Amino acid sequence: MITNSYDNKFNWNQCMGKMQDAVSQPKEKSILYEEVPFLPWGTKEWMLYRKFSPNVRAKCLSLLRECKIRFEYYRKWVSLLPEFTYIQPGFYPVGIDNYLVSDFLFETLYQKQLAHILGMLPSTSLFFSVGNNLFARLCVLTRKEKDDLFSVIFQLREEGFFKSFFYASTILSDFGG
């Protein structure tokens, strides 16, 4: 019998089990301090970002012609990127386009512990502080996985990890620019 390597290495049920095992009374108040930098970009910089975000190694000359932006301008923009951004690779074992993306904003005093538990999902999750709130972008593959995730989230609320949360789900995404 041939098995999917995704199932063997990143079994959803195992991840859910680990998350549920980690749920207990929160221990200490914490802030997950991740500052999102302000980007003082104009129209041209954002156009460059949208063109190059799907593939930072794309051949630039054809894209620059398309945008009507000079190479010198592009070179200056690229040289300033380390000041404003960082590249963080994502892990989506079956391809980003197959995932349902959901954003949560939790009102919590236990940001690090909450991020630790929710970060056990078998794909890349994103977390950062917004004052006394924790922003979380979580990805699942199926409606059943989404239901399982909400079950853990409600369990976390019962244990006192957060007071309330807001939720938004991406209906259609264009990660490819």
Q: How many separate domains does the chain show? A: 2
- Could you tell me if residue 105 is inside a domain? yes
As a whole number of angstroms, the distance between CA 15 and CA 26 comes to 20
3 located within any domain: no
Whether residue 150 is found in the same domain as residue 79: no
Q: What is the pLDDT of residue 87?
A: 61
Residue 80 and residue 94 in one domain: no
We report the CATH number of the domain holding residue 95 as: 3.30.70
> Are residue 129 and residue 152 in the same domain, yes or no?
yes
pLDDT for the residue numbered 8: 43
Mean pLDDT of the 42-48 span: 92
Sign (positive or negative) of CA dihedral 12, 15, 16, 17 = positive
> 95 and 141 share a domain?
yes
Dihedrals phi, psi of 147, to nearest 5 degrees: -60, -45
Query: Are 95 and 77 in the same domain?
Result: no
Q: How far apart, in whole angstroms, are the C-alpha atoms of residue 153 and residue 20?
A: 10
Return the residue matching tokens 């078998």: 122
Which residues span the domain enclosing 30?
A: 12-35+90-169
| pLDDT value, residue 131 | 84
Amino acid symbol at 29: K
pLDDT tens-place string over residues 48-98? 988 887 777 788 899 999 999 999 999 998 888 776 666 667 788 888 888
